[in-house]
Amino acid sequence: MSQVIDLDLDLPAASEDAVVGPLRALLQYRGQKGVPNYLNIFGPGMARSLGLTLDEVQTMWAELSTQEFDKALRERASGLATSLPDFVKRLDDAGVQWGLIWSDTNDRTAEIVSQFPGKFVGKAVVNPNDGMSAVRELERAVKELGLRSFYASPFRYGLRPNDKKFYPLYAKAVELGIPVSVYCTMNYRTDFPMDLSHPLCLDEVARDFPELTIIADCGGWPWVADMIGVARRNQNVCINTAAHRPKYLATPGSGWDMLMQFGNTLLQDRIVFASGWGNYQIPIGDVVAEMRALPLKDDVKEKWLYRNAARIFPT
């Protein structure tokens, strides 16, 4: 069984409070525009992991004090937290050689990488609205902290991938010789346009920075045909399918037909595995198993799971 490289590896919740924290944060601002809409999308799954329905969680939120609510959910979260050493063991069991991670700060990302050398590779996150301060922070993250890629997140800052505020960071990434991952799919924020990160935005970036290796995060869904077109005409664009369960890629009607077709043929060298497993909360071993079960040629499957990522991140 070949090894696996995961280019969007979510870190586990390391405490009961970290398990319930995201759900609590969404409940605090429910009904408002923007990120709180994610309660409607991901809230049912979060509640289900605690043995509750979303309606039950919302009733508890309305009827209990903050302290009582937190206590009740932390008790239900008992046993769901996973320490980093335990998580590394699960990665080993799943055949994951290493994964690309990021945390709340670049320094914290570097700290985690240093704790488990060879198991994690860090990607830097900087705010393009910070101008040259962001450029300097990206350089520090790479040269001083040892991070090896840059995550351009339109979702976090409300900027399209081809917004010129990102351009100094793309130029710095070329200079540093690191790839950039770009959030490239629809979003559920009701304060942003749905197509904020449409794949067509990457076409301009790829043409303006032909030396930049671009990894389109989340596969461009639901605009998969456009994503394929961008990758076909720009040799520096790769695609991952993070945050989407692999088993659905081969499900008729899921919208992934063109990726499966071209990814098994003309674009087989530019599809890279990325789990983003935290979005759908199934064990990393099951995610890898679903990828291995896809109806791809054996040689292509090895490229998706390992060889293409190894080419982007040479040791």
Residue 1 confidence (pLDDT): 62
Q: From residue 64, how far is each of 40, 53, 70, 72, 100 by CA, in Å?
A: 21, 16, 9, 9, 39
Q: Is a pLDDT exceeding 70 seen at residue 58?
A: yes
More confident residue, 156 or 5: 5
Q: What does 1-62 look like in DSSP terms, one character per residue?
A: ---EEESS-PPPP-SHHHHHHHHHHHHHTTTSSSGGGHHHHHHHHHHHHTT--HHHHHHHHH
Task: Say yes or no to pLDDT of 233 above 90.
Answer: yes
Confidence of residue 292 (pLDDT cuts 50, 70, 90): very high
Distance of CA 88 to the CA centre of its chain: 18
- Using the predicted structure, report yes or no on whether residue 87 has a pLDDT greater than 70: yes
Structural tokens at position 310: 């190894």
Distance CA 263, CA 268 (A): 5
pTM: 0.95
> Strand 120-124 and strand 180-183: pairing?
unpaired
Structural domains of the chain, ranges and CATH numbers in brackets:
4-12+82-312 (3.20.20.140), 16-76 (no CATH)
| Mean pLDDT in residue range 124-153 | 97
Kindly indicate the confidence band of residue 256, based on its pLDDT and cuts at 50, 70 and 90: very high
Mean pLDDT of 198-219: 98
pLDDT in tens, 6-40: 999 999 999 999 999 999 999 998 888 898 899 99
Mean pLDDT confidence for 175-187: 97
Task: Report the share of the chain in percent with pLDDT over 70.
Answer: 100
Q: What is the mean pLDDT of residues 293-310?
A: 97
